[in-house]
Structure 1
Amino acid sequence: MTTAHDPSTASASLWRHRDFRRYLTGQSASVAGSSISTVALSVLAVNGLDATTSQVSAIAFLGQLPPALLALTAGAFADRYAKRTLMITGDLVSAAALATVPVAAATGTLTLGHLMAVATVQGAAGVVHDAAAISLLPSLVDRSLIQRGNSRVGALFAVSATGGSSLGAALTALLGPARALLGDVASYLFSAWCTARIQTRESVPPPAARRRLRTEIAEGWRYVHGDHRLAVLTWVNATTSLALAILNTLWALYLLRTLEMAPTVFGVVLGFGALGAAAGALSAPAIARHVGPGPMMLGALALTPLTQLPLLLASPGTGWEVTIGATLFVQLACAGAAGTTQRSIRQMITDRSMQARMQSVSTCLTSGARPLGALLAGALGTWAGVRPALVTGALLLVVPFVVLARSPLRGLRQMPSAAPPETPGAPVPAPGPAPTAEANRERSMDGGTP
């Protein structure tokens, strides 16, 4: 069996890398399935159970709460135990929880409380799965392939999410929302099967090397903030997430109601955005080689606030609809390019034993920013109106640009080639595999999608 870091694999095509194909196939299926559930659960709650606006919001909130509360713990677990085992367990728990919905609907016992419980369980299982999945990737491929691997992951995930939404709408129309959820159940089972077939060996710390969970969580936090590169990129993610949460909360309402956009046109606009995200992710390695990863990320962060201007200036009409679709393409292309690049940098400069905990710090901050952004959007939208709230979100998108512009990372001309240097007072990595020249790290797909 070829190991993940065998030098002979350095120049191999990712599409010939069996474990990477299995990883990518399973995770893409899971992303598509989750998009099916997003559509079906919304229809089931509103049309099937007559949920109010606050109840629909509560279901969404409960689904988003576990990543904010459990990310740090999930990251510590993923650095302690076999990542594939955690991924498979998360998939199976999610599948089991979701399968109870069509059963309850068939027996006439389905309630909104049931949906809220399922959303909470799914969110908790998902954060454990994602912490392991994101930190597994650097162990699967040679270090020279990490950026290309993240590029393909980001592109395929964007396409899978859009395809899953379309499939969810079709299944909901054909089978009804409850039975449509069986598509997501199948996706979780398929993801677990693909993960089980990954053969690359993992290095797992022996039980004797483990410390108190609280100690390992704190160590992950100190590790991230002890390296200026990780700290800067983590805060760029968190501030971007806060700004986008404000925009995303009101975006659909603004387009459909204020700009009187037809639902079909709205769907086409979202499709353009998905294409932009895929294009940005795929082009990121080439752009980073040409201009350098630092200038490329800085340029993407500079363009992102500007793409909000047509949205803020628009009025009803076909011309503005085309313009908004085009600028959404550019915005998500910037997000895809910057997101895959910063993710690759973090994976490359982080020690193997800290991969999951490093990512968990970013996940905790970005996930915590989303409900805060949603609350701010609601308060601003009620007090000042929808358009002023969107202006606030657009202005906040300048913050991550400033954070990166004030960092030495703005001038980074090539991808890192070594683990971070030791600095006085920096935390010692948790016991585990010895550091290698191919230090690892981190996450998938938040970046920024409206």
Structure 2
Amino acid sequence: MHSKTFFIKTFGCQMNLRDSEIMAQLLGEKGYVETSDSETADLIILNTCSIRAKAEQKVMSLLGVLRKQKKRNPNLKICVAGCVAQQEGQQIIERMPHVDLVVGTQNIYELAELLKEKKQQTVATSLVDNYSIPAFIPDLGKQESEVGPVVFKKFLTIMQGCNNYCTYCVVPYTRGREISRQASHILQEARALVDGGVKEITLLGQNVNSYGKTNNVIEGNGSFSFSDLLRQVASIPGLRQLRFTTSNPKDLSDDLMRCFAEVDILCPHFHLPVQSGSNRILSLMNRKYSRELYLEKVAALRSYCPEIAITTDMIVGFPGETNEDFEETMALLEEVYYHGSYSFKYSDRPGTRSSAFEDKVEESVKAERLLRFQTRQDEICLEHNKKYVGQELPMMIEKNDGDAIVARTGTNHLVHITGEVNSCKPGDIATARILHAGHHSLQGVLKK
């Protein structure tokens, strides 16, 4: 009997990648087999992102292409999942009638059952405030397919949703209100990952700093913070490296920052989104912290862990951003001297408060500012990277094709390694001497 095959295309953040892994396992448990060939798949899932207009446009464009494939193969099932599915719901079916199933962010655990429904088209996008994230135990040994998972590192979702309501952000509307997973469920999942051969775990949440603040995550009434969770996950035998993302500066506690000095396997890299260097713009964004508080947090992080690499997110051209506001962003870049950043032009998103703001910045001005910011950031990245030349750094092997190795340092720098490479495999920790620095990666040779 022919097993049904499925193909997943994932857009957006690490949480979407994790959701795709969950859907793949749930489908696998129902007899589906994952394939890397979308042309022959029985089911195609687009797991979507709506954080920026460009990501949503890519999804709609791909759905247009899939219309032709559906005509060639009427038995093909097409599913739209994720944030665009949550945001648009029934409108996706109306715009793209060849879509069979629309699955929202809180409904992915129902995917296999939804596919059994006899209805021609199904929309499942319920979003409730008292949502409880189901317990989920990964079974890496049973996830066998031609696109099988890379098992040496994994994402682990610890919470979903957000209560901050930044004026530009769709997350509270596409992921719902903030809900933290039960600590016991997280620890069970983490142990299962390590038992399955995983060496590095990244804990995920829209704002991991507020883990456990909005609902009880342990039995009884005791408090349990993100730093408590971080220390417990770090104590699991066999786990070699631990990371987390993302953090809101307003909720960054001293106890969490202290973990970088006290938790040996916590990687010395902190992604701390700032979004703007102007207090006026931060207020319009409803970020609930000031430039001054942000700089205090950066100074504290570096006092606990001098070698820490700090990266950020930056939005350029927010409505009302003046030349003076942008200069404050450039000045913040110079003051913090980020190891890297993800920077974007502001775009209106449906349902957000800022989409109704007046005084929009011209596209040409946004493009000019973004280019200036990114050019200077690239120069700073190169300056940082040159400081690693000559150093011997520990790093985790990510890929070995027999001729060269790709590895990643604790500071999240990619390293391309040549020389004697045959003895290394993904998940191993090796030491390499850095020989050359580029803007976005390093080159090195393994220490013998």
What is the TM-score when the length of structure 1 is the normalising length?
0.22
Q: Which has the larger radius of gyration?
A: 2
Greater relative contact order: 1 or 2 (C-alpha under 8 angstroms, separation 6 or more)?
Answer: 1
Q: Which has the higher strand share?
A: 2
